[in-house]
Structure 1
Amino acid sequence: MLFLIALFIAVITAFCLDKPLKKCPAAFYVTAAVLTVTSVVITQSDINISSRFVRDYVLGIFSRGAIGTAFWAVVMWAGALPNGSAPIKKLMPIRGELSITAAILTFSHIIIYGLTYISNLIKGRTGSDFVITSIVCIVMVLIMTPLTVMSVKKIRKKMNAKTWKKIQRFAYIFYGLIYIHILVLFIPKAQKGREGYFLSVLVYSAVFIGYAVMRIRKYYIANKKPDKKLVPNAVCACAFVLPFALVGAVSYGTGTKSAKPSADVSENAATFTFAPTTTVVTEEAVTTASDSKKTSATTVAATSKTTAAEPATTNKKDENTPTAEEEKQEEQDHNDEPEQEQHEEETPATEPQVTYKYRNGEYEGEAEGYAGKVYVKLSIENDAITSISAWADDDDPEYFGDAMNKVIPQIGAKVSADGIDACSGATYSSNGIIDAARKALEKAMN
């Protein structure tokens, strides 16, 4: 899982590189900035990266915000751990540097998906999820940016300590919004049985709900100073288990996703239909060929008749005194004419046999898209594609929709998956559709 990998990287960085981070934080900031810019440039370009591992676990860890969220999780828990514990002694001195690094890494996710949201807004794609996630993201950016600037040591020293601390409490709202943002995006996919999303919801819930419970526990013990901690610990355990179980129950999908869903039941399936122009052209070609043979045969017959008639016309000059040689020639001509006509009648024009490249019927193919399998189902009739249906497991609906509108009409027109132009900005989804269509056409090949 992507977030677990990112969390492992963040924890290793915090505990193993704490001294270099404290001594030379600028090097970490620059490195984070370079990684952020690189991920944005590659993701927004039309560079085709064939390796699924690179797309998901190298670029995806930045573009999907997993690495930024993981660093924020370390920053969060640094403030929730018991005072005097070994982890807090490691983390508290570098908490400010960790938060700045986390913010820089988070900007890769903000920029990449921010551009997507702007594009969707321009295209009028403003569903309920879009509105909620947009508002949450805007508020998060407005909170994160000033808090990050104030975490810079030089700026922090110029501020009043109490004022700085009060402003930093907005971080609690920021952490809560991160969790809400994740739930809004992941729960619907987890409910549909999408692979990995239910586990993701559980892991994120464990991190964020656990942090909230531990932070409240720390505040209670610091202020109330109870003699025994058994009761607070029991209350905290219940406070963690109940919401965690509730989120799990809400997120759990009632059905399991099949390895290869049918286009008839897939809610993401979109069908494009095409007029069978190829069939009409083929029939016209056959008719023309047939008519040509008939015309040719008629012409031959007419020529023969004319040839036979010409000697008779010539003989009118001397009808009364035909020579023996002319009579013999005329008799031979009259005998030849029925033979030719009879031969023509006995040899009718044969219809040309049409050879088709593809077999008629429905064929399916699958290939790798941006974030999962892409499926294509097409119908073929006399070397013409009459319909194409396409759907995907986990590709972003907007990106996949743009790719379909660009790619599928080309495939239908060419009756081929070769020489198809991909949709700019949705290259991986486009290539997935093209590859799946190519495999389906290969199955239909005669």
Structure 2
Amino acid sequence: MILTLTLLCSLAFFHFFGKAVKKKPAVLYGICILLSLVSIFYPREGGLPFLDFFFKKIMQRGILAGSLFILVMLAPVLPKSFSGRKTIYLLRGEMAICASLITLAHNLAFGGKYFGALFLGQGHISLMELHAAIVSCLMILLLIPLTITSFQTVRRKMQAKTWKRLQNWSYLFYLLLYLHIFFIYQGALIRGKGEYFFTLMLYSFIFGFYGFLRIRQYRVQKESREKKAVPLLRIGGILPIVCLFLSVFYSAGKYRAALEANVDKIRAQETVAESKESADNAAENKGSVESIGNGEEKSDSALEASGDKASANSTAASSDSKAVDANSASGTYKDGEYFGKASAYNGNVEVKVTISGGKMTAIDIVKTKDDEEYFFDAQKKVIPEILEKQSTDVDAVAGATTSSEGIAHAVEKALEQAKQ
């Protein structure tokens, strides 16, 4: 949905402002640089909903850059009958430069995590994320010369054949772009996010459609220089389709296994709850019978019971005192709200733990600098398990191990205060 919306908005912008962009492209480049800088330093919390959506979902995640690259990719192969082809074709150079500038924000927003893990061994990333990071490095190496030679001032100083030969590397860039997208979304599907399948399917359709149109265009052209590129073009057209079908079978199995595991967990919880309820009912019935028997005994020895009342009160007070000491020794917490802070992936994570009735009843994230998507994966699994077990001894989330451990350690820090 976001990809489709971004593609339509980008196409509409260049349709209405295309002439102005063609006359003064430097103004648009400056705007792209400014938006990229704002995106890099945009706060994680406290922003307006519209700005949050634009900078976090569209800019930082590379949706806008990817949409512009897709338009540039499709421009030469779209049928001439397509109404927007002329606009895209005439402005594809400016679109490519804008997409490259915006890609800077995407790489800086996510590069600290993925490139740090790839080159410095810092933190933990999944196998799919590792593949995406490697592909991203290859894309950057290709993008630098392709972007520089897209400027009209540079292009005019180059020979036409040399410029054309260099720009042919854009076919490989498009292929790497799809692989990068595939690995990112495939990793999300493996983690059980089935909603990402339709987005991956849309990307696969677009890139597969491009490959089909490229091969079709080649067949109707007779220039020998076009024939040299056909093996790569065929790979570019077939690979997205193959990857899509592999994704369907692999991720569907993983997602189904996750669902089944969740169902088994719910059933186990229901069984435990039913067993506990049965035990409580049995204890209640037993207590009722004992209460009746005690009532008969009290009617026969009322005087004796009243004589022992003072002794019973004294014993009860002593028992209450011992119970308090036992609760303190076993770690019962004082009611209130307590804060804890611990190290996570991109910095500290701070939590607020609410204690009621001596137990943890709520855990809220006060502040974090970790990546929103992967931190959310850790948060939605770790916090419910801590509350359920009343313990921080829980399993970390695959792909978000450091964030999971950070949450658990922060809760431990807060509980240390609650014991004082």
Please state which band the TM-score falls in when normalised by the shorter chain.
0.5 to 0.7
Matched, 1:100 2:103: no
The aligned residue for residue 22 of structure 2 is 22
Query: Which position in structure 2 is the counterpart of 1:156?
Result: 155
Give SS of 2:77's match: coil
The 10-residue stretch of structure 1 (238-247 or 72-81) with the greater mean CA deviation from structure 2: 238-247
Residue aligning to 2:413: 410
Instruction: List per-residue Cα deviations over 1:279-334 (Å, max 9, x = no partner).
Output: xxxxxxxxxxxxxxxxxxxxxxxxxxxxxxxxxxxxxxxxxxxxxxxxxxxxxxxx
**Which one of 63, 67, 70 corresponds to residue 70 of structure 1?**
67
**2:188 matched residue in structure 1:** 189
Residues 99 and 148, structure 1, Cα contact 8 Å, conserved in 2: yes
Q: 1:345 to 1:71 in 2, by over 3 A?
A: closer
Q: Does 1:378 align with 2:383?
A: no
Deviation at 1:112, TM superposition (A): 1.5
Contact 1:29 1:101 in 2 (8 A): yes
Against the structure 1 CA distance between its residues 42 and 264, is the aligned structure 2 distance closer, same or farther, given a 3 Å change threshold? Answer: farther
Helix, strand or coil for the counterpart of 2:41? helix
* Change in 2 beyond 3 A, CA 1:346/1:49: closer
- Structure-2 change in CA distance of 1:52 and 1:411 (3 Å): farther
Q: Are the equivalent residues in 2 in contact too, given 1:6–1:67 (CA < 8 A)?
A: yes
* C-alpha distance 403-14 of structure 1, shift in aligned 2 (>3 A): farther
Distance apart, 1:159 and its partner CA? 0.4
Contact 2:21/2:28, CA 8 A, preserved across alignment: yes
What secondary structure is seen at the aligned counterpart in 2 of 1:194?
coil
2:137 counterpart of 1:138:
yes
Among candidates 389, 392, 397, match of residue 387 of structure 1: 392
Question: What is the percent sequence identity of the aligned residues?
Answer: 21
Aligned letter for 1:400? S
TM-score, length of structure 2 as denominator length: 0.64
2:12 maps to 12
Deviation at residue 7 of structure 1 after TM alignment: 1.7
Contact 2:392 2:411 in 1 (8 A): no
1:37 and 1:108 in contact (8 A); partners too: yes
Query: Offset at 1:404?
Result: 2.3
CA distance in 2 between counterparts of 1:126 and 1:239 reads: 29
Aligned counterparts, 1:33-44, within 5 A: 33-42=33-42
- Cα offset, 1:366, TM superposition: 8.2
Q: What are the residue-to-residue correspondences of 1:206-217 with 2, within 5 Å?
A: 206-217=205-216
Which string of whole-angstrom CA distances, capped at 9 and with x for unpartnered residues, describes residues 267-287 of structure 1? xxxxxxxxxxxxxxxxxxxxx
Q: CA RMSD in A?
A: 4.0
- Once the 2 structures are TM-superposed, how far is the Cα of residue 108 of structure 1 from its aligned partner? 0.8
Code of the residue aligned with 1:36 in structure 2: it is S
Secondary structure of the residue aligned to 2:372 is coil
Aligned to 1:429: none
Contact 2:208/2:240 (CA < 8 Å) preserved in 1? no
After TM superposition, list the pairs within 5 Å mapping 1:180-259 onto structure 2.
180-223=179-222, 243=242, 246-247=245-246, 249-250=248-249, 252-254=251-253, 255=255
Gapped regions of structure 2 (runs ≥ 5): 224-233, 267-309, 328-333, 336-355
Q: Which has the larger radius of gyration?
A: 1
Q: Distance in 1 between matches of 2:250 and 2:4?
A: 19
**Following TM superposition, by how much is the alpha carbon of 1:119 offset from its aligned partner in structure 2, in angstroms?**
3.5
| Matched residue type, 1:14 | F
**Where do 1:392-403 residues align within 5 Å?**
397=400, 400-401=403-404, 403=406
* Cα 1:10/1:388, change in 2 over 3 Å: farther
Q: Which moved more, 1:401-410 or 1:49-58?
A: 49-58
Q: In structure 2, what is the Cα distance between the partners aligned to 1:347 and 1:404?
A: 46
Instruction: Provide the C-alpha distance between the structure 2 equivalents of 1:99 and 1:347, rounded to a whole number of angstroms.
Output: 85
User: Which amino acid in structure 2 is aligned with residue 20 of structure 1?
Assistant: A
Q: Which amino acid aligns with 1:370?
A: E
Unaligned runs of 5+ residues in structure 1 are: 225-234, 266-343, 417-446
Q: Distance in 2 between matches of 1:187 and 1:154?
A: 40
